[in-house]
Structure 1
Amino acid sequence: MCLGRQKLTVRSILLTGGFGNIGGRFSAFLIENGFANLTLTTRQSRLAPEWAPNARIVRCDLTQSSTLAGILDGIDIVFHFAALNDRLCASDPELAHRVNVDGTENLVAAAISAGVKHIVYMSTIHVYGSPLIGEIDEFSTTHPTHPYGITHLAAEEVLSSHSRLIGSTIIRSGNGFGYPMTFDVDIWHIIVNDLCVQAVRDQKLIIKSPANLQRNFVTLRDICRTLHFVGFVNPTSNGSTTFNLGSRSSRTLREMANLVADRCNRLFGYRPEIIESVPETLEDTSLQFDCSRLWQTGFSTEELFDDEIDGILKLVAANLV
């Protein structure tokens, strides 16, 4: 669905990690909404994807600043998604720092040199640390303990420290979930996507953490809509702005498992058994992820959980069955 006229006239857009989980979906979203001049970066040699057949594909390694030479010339806005995921960060914290932090430093320096106006950075709720409980807003203390959160916070600080030279918007996303553009994207370990794989492959759902744990889930569609909004409708022209992004209420793992089971029944005619493999926690795990700063701009999430889960289940079924 086209989102209509944009406030900001943009000539050229670059997405780092343009073939990844968010980068793939967002590039497809932009094409759907009339943006034609896209550049997608990738560490591997690739052809333009079928969802963005006219995109310019640039091979680069953000940890090697020399590979950025020239690719940002003429670019108006950068959406920065290239980062190691949580599992890779845990297995190699030094590499995580090189990619997530040093890579961001190199990108920002190149963007400033090229005259880029604005960078939108995809960060994470995990910069607030663990456990994620109670009320969390943008003024809450950041104390990450996992390399994933630590390196994302450090990357945020890179952007903030250069805010006099280039505008930046930082999105601290809750637990994102959704279907990637291709099945080979390494995103199947995250909670909802993993449950969908189990539903199709095993016809049962094993909840691997206490089922009463609360998380704030947000669909990939709402992530894309938010990125579009902060990039083109309500951009940060100077300085640095940080927004929390999540749904209006948190849900337990049990609630999400039941939602996946219900959608599986609707699509495929069977409802997987739900197995809670560990006892409930006796601690209060309630989470209020305050996104009112974002809501106050006029943006609102759609929270179409059913549609997003259906998309995941269909993609899994097409590739595993």
Structure 2
Amino acid sequence: MDTTSPETAARNDTVAVTGGSGFVGGHLVSALAGQGRRVVVVDLDEPSPELAALPGVSYRRADLRDYGETLLALRGVDTVFHLAGNASGTRSVQYPRFDFQINGLGTCHVGNACVEMGVRRLVYMSSAIVYGTPQRFPIDEEHPTRPFLPYGASKFSGELTLRSLHEAVDLSVVMGRCFVIYGPGEDPRTAGGEVSQFMRWQLNDLPIPVVGDIDRKTRDFVHVSDVCAALIAMAENGTPGEAYNIGSGTETSMRQLADAVATATGRPARLKADTSQMEDSFRLVADISKLRGIGYRPAVTLAQGLESLAGALGPFPELPTATVAFRREAVEQT
């Protein structure tokens, strides 16, 4: 005989996505709604009409810097995917206090609210930026953590807070360290990832500016749909208190990316080297063995993702305007 109360049954089917109106959040909301889950979008911005129209999707406005608003937004949910926050390293250099309030304090509020509300599982989207300059390749989860940007420090602060809540009060939290995410829906005014930027320059038939060393600078590019699959796998099978790398496990140089963009668009790519900033000209690739161990398998190759992205953007998309800066002086000169 099933003795589950109607209230408990409802909770077991309801998830919240903080930052659900954003790039990754919107894709995650769509994926969860496609599984038949009731999804609460928690954000300062309303979700798009297309997202809001999905069956089972509702919206709660909340500023996570306010603990009272955080508590109200997360009431009655079973699982929380915490994606909200500042995702721009450059903005963290410009406004480090704002960055820490959003990423550090906001995450602390979410973690405490989950404890107070008895949330079954919290999934925190962190970043590979917490590792700082890579010291070995590929990077596993035991790699030293020495972030060189305020953004990396604030994301790592979130990890430390949530892990301490796991140890002290048994918060069931798992953390995903995302590498370089790409896919349809990125905002060209803020997205600093090379895939979207390269594709937008290429589709406008313009030279592609490449910051740093074209051959020595490598990245692990992971499609947003694979990121969503990883986050869901972590919610279902992840070990509480653990961090997992979220990537493709494939290393791609800037030149190789440009060649792949050329193939996806059917015309040669012209590169314009910008060596004024070389701080991130290092190899950044994920060891995803740990994530594979809980059932994750990246499904979208870079070639497939680029072909799809080119179709989604169409001819002459808006050009990217996000800047790259590692020091305040660099920001002020732009």
* Superposed pair shares fold, TM > 0.5: yes
Aligned runs of 1:161-310 on 2, under 5 Å? 161-163=164-166, 164-180=169-185, 184=187, 186-212=189-215, 213-232=217-236, 234-236=237-239, 239-265=240-266, 270-278=267-275, 285-310=282-307
Other structure's SS at 1:51 match: helix
What is the total number of aligned residue pairs between the two structures?
Answer: 301
Unaligned ranges ≥5, structure 2: 1-10, 319-334
Whole-angstrom distance in 2 between the partners of 1:251 and 1:69: 42
SS of the residue aligned with 1:62?
coil
Distance 1:15 1:111 in 2: 13
- When residues 229 and 319 of structure 1 are mapped into structure 2, their CA distance, relative to the original with a 3 A threshold, is farther
2:29, 2:292 → 1: CA distance?
Answer: 24
Specify the alignment match of 2:322 in structure 1: none
Alignment of 1:130-149 (within 5 A): 130-131=133-134, 134-149=137-152
CA RMSD, 1 decimal: 2.6
Higher alpha-carbon deviation: 170-179 or 146-155: 170-179
The CA deviation at 1:209 is 1.7
Amino acid at match of 2:300: E
What is the 5 A alignment of 1:96-175? 96-131=99-134, 134-163=137-166, 164-175=169-180
Whether the 8 Å contact between 1:264 and 1:272 is mirrored in structure 2 is no
Cα drift, residue 197 of structure 1: 1.1
Query: 1:93-137 CA distances to partner (integer Å, 9 max, x unpaired)?
Result: 011111101001111111111110111011111101125653421
Question: TM-score under structure 1 normalisation?
Answer: 0.85
Aligned to 2:24: 22
Query: 1:133 and 1:257, CA in 2 relative to 1: closer, same or farther beyond 3 A?
Result: farther
Matched residue type, 1:175: V
**Structure 1 position 88 matched with structure 2 position 85:** no
1:51 aligns with 2:51: yes
Q: CA deviation at 1:23?
A: 0.1
Asked whether the equivalents of residues 206 and 277 of structure 1 are also in contact (C-alpha less than 8 Å), the reply is: yes
Shift of 1:320: 2.9
SS at 2:50 equivalent: coil
Relative to the length of structure 2, the TM-score reads 0.82
Instruction: Judge conservation of contact 1:134–1:285 (CA < 8 Å) in 2.
Output: no
Q: Where do 5+ consecutive residues of structure 1 fail to align? A: 1-8
CA distance in 2, matches of 1:185, 1:166: 36
Q: Secondary structure at the match of 1:169?
A: strand
Cα 1:147/1:295, change in 2 over 3 Å: same
